[in-house]
Each structure stands twice: as structure tokens, then as C-alpha cells.
Structure 1
Amino acid sequence: MKFGSLPVAQAEGTILAHGIAVSGQSWKKGRHLSAADIAALQANGRESVVAGRLEAGDVPEDQAARRLAEVLCGPGATLTAAFTGRANLYAAAAGLAMINAARIEAINAVDEAITVATLAPDDMVEARQMLATVKIIPFAVPQAVLDRALAAAAGTPAIGSAPFRPLTTGLIMTRLPATKASVLEKTHKAVADRLAQLGGRIGSALTVGHDEQALAAALGEMAAGQPESILVFGASAIVDTLDVVPAAIRAAGGTVIRFGMPVDPGNLILIGELAGRPVIGVPGCARSPKVNGFDFVLRRLAAGQPVDGPAIARMGVGGLLKEIEIRPQPRDIAPMVARAPRLAAIVLAAGRSSRMAGPNKLTQPLRGKPLVLHGVDAAIEAGCERVVVVTGHDREAVAQLVANRPVTTVHNPQFADGLSTSLRAGLDALDEAIDGAFILLGDMPRICAQDLSRLAAGFAPDEGRAILVPTAGGEWGNPILWARRFFPAMRELTGDRGARMLAVANQEFVTEVAMPGDGVLIDLDTAAAFAAERAT
């Protein structure tokens, strides 16, 4: 790729390297300069721009990021469209991050232009939490460099997640003559609470004396009930492989796999097996709600991952959990996590089709289904968390058309007062968990899920990308994706005005997203336009 300052007259087809202001508009870096852009720059008296020009054999940043992310994306992970050279992977459900660290290191060693950042292996993740991001640093990379990265990534996908499943365990607690009932109650509660956080539960519980024979008998009785795993909480800490708990496991016919783990607190954990099921000798620190080595093991059990010697040995890096004076109780503070935004779609379907001079256009068939369903189905396919269809004119007919779709129908009795009233009705139907919303016009038949995904990929309000505007040939189109921060201002609009004026007034938050086709510009306002669209 060539990079540097170019005369404006020679810059058509290049990629803008730095944001600039042109005729009161904010042009962000990464903009592909069109002939119209060159004319606008010249009209503003600009003589040069700093830009990049792709050469033969270069792979554009978004294409390169997407190709590498597709190879890395494994079970339990979902992948977004690439934007500004970045493709993110998210956990499909709560569970553990499954990361092949060696493979990621190999990719990052290929070339500084290609980077992959991930969570640590076995990190606990929430649904929709970000697992990794693939970022191409320059605007493009040579094909040869990308090929080397793809070769390093080849094999079993290196990034995924193992979802937690409802884990039912047996719990055996031992007691000494001096053991208080309150200690047993605290122990039971601590284990139950930990399991509940992972969607699991204690299936059965026994309390026996702290001696080998009594515990061996209890283990046999518990194993006969076929729990998924057995937890043994001893009244006294395990200090040797010949101690009471490991001896009882062997006496019951089981085996001791490992005693001790490189996690502190939690060193004195024991891993065994009985009747094909894991048996965990739980360390005493697990009576505390603070994170310890037992949590690492329990999470793997809940995620269906093996708990063996090699798995325990790998826990040492990141296994120092002790609180020290210069690090006061950080685990009492809920960490911020990067997650996929929760996006909704509001489909405005309340209009009277007055310019059609005939039936309601939204109910008329076009390429196999009513016009209104094109936008509705695009929003559903794109994975919008909520799709709200606002009805008004011809309420019953429109509502019946969407009745078999997973949408929320909201009626706007004030639809005759203009578009703003329908916009307000749609926004009022969204809950506080929604981070942003697409505003779709009901008469745009060429909008597809891929268009919405391209907009969603660029949505990053914390980074200033809070209004995502689709473009075709440099012209603004619809739908626009809005961050929640603009919802109050959108509610204040009046008359037959949409929210586009807010985008014009908030240029610093606008990011234009070029679309591959012109579908974002096409709406069907007249009978002639409808007929022409049917003929295509």
C-alpha cells in the first residue's frame, strides 16, 4: 500500500488517513474518496490530503480481518461483520473462554500488521461478552502476509466458548466432634451458592464422621445415585495423598488423580475419580465467597471440560488470587466487560400511503411477500434483540401480516400527526437494556440483514460512533442506527419529521458506512415506483 500526502486531484479511490472537516461535515479516517468527494475538497480549497492507495496484491482491512476471524471462530463463538479493520468474536452463552494460546501467539508473531487479542483461557464469560478481537492495523495487508497468518491459524478453531450446563453434584461433608453445626451450614450454603451462579445445584448431601471408613461408605452410597460429580468437604484440610479424603476415595474403589494445584488460595485441592465421575476434595478456603482454586475447577466441571492433571497445571498463570495490601479486594468490585451491544429495530409502518393513490402499499405483495415484511424480516435475520412494528393507518391489516413473526406490535393512534409520533411510540416500547436502535421505514424492500450487520459492526458509542448512517455513492440513506443517548431528543421531535436532522446537528457522532448497493436509498412512495420495483 502506498501512503502519504497526495494532491487532491490524484486522490480519487484512495482512503482518507485522518479525519477532516469539509463544508461543515466531519469526514472520518477510512473514508474511500469518490469523485464527488474530490469535487467537494476542491470546492473547499483543499490542495492535498493524506491518504493510502491499495496496490496489486493488497487485501483491504475489513476483508482481511473477516477472513482471519472466520478461521479462528469456533464452537460457542459468534462473529460480527468487520469494520475499520476489526472483527469481534463474542460468546454465544455464559461459560468458559476456550482459547488456544499457542495458536494466537503464532498468529501475532507473523507480522505487526495483524493482531489478535483475546481473553485468557478459561476466563468465565457472560452471554454476548467479547472473547476476542481481530484487528488489521493498516488499511490493507499484502496477500502473502495474510496467507501466513491464515496458515498459523489453521486447524481446530482457536477461539470459542464452552457453555455452562445445569450441573447436579453430590456433597459429602465430614465432621469432627468439635465441628459446629453452623460450620456445616455455612459450608453447604457456600457450595450451593457457587453452583447456583453456574446454573447448577446440590442433588444430595451427606454428613459423616471424619474417618476413612465412614467416608468411603458415604462415597459408595453417593456414587450409586449417579451424580455428575461428587464434592467432599473435609472437616480437616487434606495435607497428604495418604490423608483421610484420598484414602477414602481409594477405599471406595476410586483413584486419586492429583493433589495440589498452582492456585492460591486453593492449593490444597484434590482431584479424584470414582465410578467414572470426578471427585473433588474441596479446600477449606471455599467456605469464603472470594474466588479461589475451587472456582476454577467447578467452572470447568460446569462447562463439561476435563479436570485432569494437565488442566490443573495450566492454571498457575493467573492463579495468584491472594489479596495483598497494595491490591485491596479487587474481586469485590464487579469488572466491566466488553459485550455485544443490544440492538433493537423500530419499523415505521403507520403511514397512509397517500402518494400511492390506492391501497396501503405496505400490505401489497412484492417478490413473494407484503412490502412491510421485507424490513421486518431483515431486522429479525440480523439478530436484533427486539423488533417493534409501529402501526397506525390500516392497523388490523398490518398487524395481521406480522402476527407470525417474533415482533412487538405497537399502535400509534396519533399517526395522522406525522412520522415523529410513530417514532416516539416505537422508542417508548424499548426497555432500558437496549443500547441502540435501527429506525427502518416500512417501504424499503431492498434492505437486507447484511446491511444492518454492517451498521452494527461500526456501532461503538464509547468511541464516538453513536450514529451509523448507510451511504450509497456518498448519499445518506436509511436505516440509521442510533445510540440510546439520542432517544430523548428523538422523542422531542414533532410533526412529519424523522430524526435525520439530529444526525446533521451531531456530525461529530456520525459514522458513514458505505454499502455495496443502493438499496438504502430506495423507498416506494408512488405507484410508479412500486411498479418499477416489481419489474426488477
Structure 2
Amino acid sequence: MEVQTRQLPLEMSEKVPMQPNVAIVLLAAGMARRMGPNGAHKLLAEFDGIPLIRRSALVAQNSKAGSVTVVVGHRENDLRAALSDLSLSVVTNPDFASGMSSSLATGFAAVAGDDPDGVLVMLADMPGVTSSDLNRLIAAFQCSGGSSVVRAVSQGKRGNPVILPRSLNDAIFRLEGDVGARHLIENSGLAVIDVEIGDAAHVDVDTPEAIIAAGGTLVNKA
């Protein structure tokens, strides 16, 4: 006996809600002015034998984010070389000397084509942040339905990384100077979800002393 089949109308078919998707923008374009005149670059310092820029990129890659984009500027050729075999996007901020806001805009513009629900902004000079930390932030963002800011904290004190929902994109492009998104978040009117990740939320390595204290090794490569 022949069995007749027919396709259900779209409105009658089961609809599986999509999880909000997150793209990572890894900021690595800064001038590293506090490293002194010896030619060392903080993102080329080695942790467990791996340049910090590569280590941070691998942490981002091993998370549950949909994509990873690295923004470079100062010493971009050296940083690109450290990332050359990784499956991620590297974009140049030609205006990197003007400060962080231009790097944020460069990164957000680069991921705009993927239309992510949120962008996880990660600083490349924070060696304590792990893929598990990023996944906890991403999970909190998804649980919020993609509508809230999600921020890493240490003992309740705000830190980094942070996930910014799509509703803040236009405001990011209006930022100017050497500023991040802190004031934008405070004035956004959006709910903010704090995720405790311990000391990693605050430990960055802006000086040679900080690199050594965090377990890194300076590489004097001009």
C-alpha cells in the first residue's frame, strides 16, 4: 500500500529556539608604553614557552564562542607571526595609537557581518583568563536571552572580560579616545550580570615586573 506523505506547514513544525551566539574580539593593538625602552612587547612575553598573544588566542579559540577576531596595531607583524597558523581572523586598527575605543570599533566592525547576538571583549594581556572562564560568561549571556551585559568580577569587583549585547553596537562606534566600554555599560540602562572568575578578572601584565610576577618571561625582540 502506498503511503501518502506531506510536509507540515512551517507554523505547525516544531521550532527549536536558537541560543544567542557570541563572537570574541581579542584586543591586542596597544602601544605597550609601560614596558620601557628595552624593545620588549608584553604580548610577546612567554608563558610556558608560548607568546602571550598566542596563549590568549588559544584560550579564546577553545571556548564556545562562534568566532575569534584579533585586533592588532603596534608591532602587528610580530603579533601576526605568533598567530599565523591559527584558524581565526586578524584585523589591523590603523588608528591604534589613539587608544582603545578605535580598537573596539575595528573589532566590532570586523564581526558585524556574522551578526552576533553579543561580542565578548577580551584583553590579550590577561594571562589568568581560561576557556572555562569564557564559557561561564557565554553561558550567562545565553541564559539572559542575549539581552544583558555580562561582566567578569573578582570578589564582586568589576573586571574583564565582558560581553556586550548587540543593542550596544551603535554606542561602541561613537566612543572616542583611550576609553573602553565601562561608562557605556553604566549608562546603558541594561541589566548587568556579574560572573565571579577570581583573580583572573584583574590580573593584566602591563609592565616587565607584572609579567615576571605572573610567571612570564620577557622576550627582548625589537
1:383 correspondence with 2:104: no
SS for the counterpart of 1:410 is strand
Residues 15-54 of structure 1 correspond to what in structure 2 (within 5 A)? none
1:529 correspondence with 2:210: yes
Instruction: For CA contacts below 8 A with separation 6 or more, give which structure has more relative contact order.
Output: 2
Structure that is richer in strand per residue: 1
Partner of 2:220: none
Q: Distance in 2 between matches of 1:464 and 1:429?
A: 20
1:428 correspondence with 2:109: yes
Partner of 2:128: 446
Q: Distance in 1 between matches of 2:181 and 2:161?
A: 11
SS for the counterpart of 2:193 is strand
* 1:270-315 Cα distance to aligned partner (Å, 9 max, x none): xxxxxxxxxxx431x43xxx32xxxxxxxxxxxxxxxxxxxxxxxx
Aligned partner of 1:418: which letter?
Answer: G
Structure 1 spans left out of the alignment, 5+ residues: 1-237, 239-280, 292-329
1:339 correspondence with 2:18: yes
Q: Distance in 1 between matches of 2:89 and 2:121?
A: 15
Aligned partner of 2:65: which letter?
Answer: C
1:499 aligned to which of 181, 190, 195: 181
Structure 2 spans left out of the alignment, 5+ residues: 218-222
Q: Pairwise CA RMSD of aligned residues? A: 2.2
Going from structure 1 to structure 2, the CA distance change for 1:491 and 1:381 (only over 3 Å counts) comes to: same
Q: What displacement does 1:456 show?
A: 1.0
Going from structure 1 to structure 2, the CA distance change for 1:372 and 1:464 (only over 3 Å counts) comes to: closer
SS for the counterpart of 2:214 is helix
Q: What displacement does 1:331 show?
A: 3.5
Q: Distance in 2 between matches of 1:422 and 1:282?
A: 60
Residues 19-98 of structure 1 correspond to what in structure 2 (within 5 A)? none
Q: Distance in 1 between matches of 2:53 and 2:13?
A: 43
TM-score of the aligned structures, taking structure 2 as reference length: 0.88
Q: Distance in 2 between matches of 1:506 and 1:345?
A: 21
Q: What displacement does 1:442 show?
A: 1.1
1:475 aligned to which of 143, 157, 162: 157
Indicate the structure (1 or 2) with the bigger Cα radius of gyration: 1
* 1:506-527 Cα distance to aligned partner (Å, 9 max, x none): 3542111112x21111001111
Residues 178-327 of structure 1 correspond to what in structure 2 (within 5 A)? 238=1, 281-283=2-4, 285-286=5-6, 290-291=7-8
Partner of 1:109: none
* 1:336-373 Cα distance to aligned partner (Å, 9 max, x none): 53222221110111111101113211112122211112
Q: Distance in 2 between matches of 1:523 and 1:499?
A: 17
Going from structure 1 to structure 2, the CA distance change for 1:464 and 1:453 (only over 3 Å counts) comes to: closer
Aligned partner of 1:485: which letter?
Answer: S
Going from structure 1 to structure 2, the CA distance change for 1:356 and 1:341 (only over 3 Å counts) comes to: same
Going from structure 1 to structure 2, the CA distance change for 1:391 and 1:535 (only over 3 Å counts) comes to: closer
Going from structure 1 to structure 2, the CA distance change for 1:394 and 1:334 (only over 3 Å counts) comes to: farther
Aligned residues: 214
